[in-house]
Amino acid sequence: MAYNILVVDDSAVVRAVIKKTLTLAGIDVGQIFNAENGQIGLDIAASEWIDLIFADINMPIMGGIEMVERLSEEGLLSTIPIIIVSTEGSVTRIAELKKKGVAAYVRKPFTPESIREVVAQVMGD
């Protein structure tokens, strides 16, 4: 099954790297939607069919944590798994995000193998 994936990161380079990594990992991708902050990510998640979200933590306008909280409030977090992709490695922060409903955490830099593994785990493949 092809997944519609939303990539939310303020860096166009990181968004492109995630897209390329998904291809290299052999993930069956339908459409990839891009957002440079959490607010745009929320708007896309509310208007498009999204199977999976990759999101950064630190972004302008609305960061990943607030986006996760808003998705939870809107009931979308229960149907769309979120994988946080960040350089931040704080064990406390990761635990906090998982308590909020984040499905998985991937630390930058990442490999196609680590992305394939986490997508399989999150999506039940």
Model confidence over 64-114: pLDDT tens digits?
A: 989 999 999 988 888 999 999 988 777 888 888 888 889 999 998 899 999
Work out whether strand 3-8 and strand 52-55 pair parallel, antiparallel, or are unpaired.
Answer: parallel
**Residue 74 belongs to some domain of the structure:** yes
7 and 54 in contact (C-beta within 8 Å)? yes
Residue ranges making up the domain that contains 34? 9-112
**Residue 121 belongs to some domain of the structure:** no
DSSP state of 107: E
**Residue 51 belongs to some domain of the structure:** yes
Q: Average pLDDT over the chain, rounded to whole?
A: 92
Angle, CA of 103, 55 and 5, to the nearest 5° = 80
pLDDT-above-90 percentage for the chain: 74
**Residue 67 belongs to some domain of the structure:** yes
**Residue 105 belongs to some domain of the structure:** yes
**Residue 20 belongs to some domain of the structure:** yes
Q: 32-60: string of b/e by CB count within 10 Å (b at 16+)?
A: bbbbbbbbbbbebbeeeebbbbbbbbebe
57 and 49 in contact (C-beta within 8 Å)? no
Report the pLDDT value the prediction gives residue 92, as an integer from 0 to 100.
84
**Residue 75 belongs to some domain of the structure:** yes
Report the pLDDT value the prediction gives residue 30, as an integer from 0 to 100.
96
Instruction: Please tell me the total count of domains within the chain.
Output: 1
- What's the predicted TM-score (pTM) here? 0.94
**Residue 117 belongs to some domain of the structure:** no
Q: How many C-beta neighbours within 10 Å does residue 91 have?
A: 7
CATH of the domain at 27: 3.40.50.2300
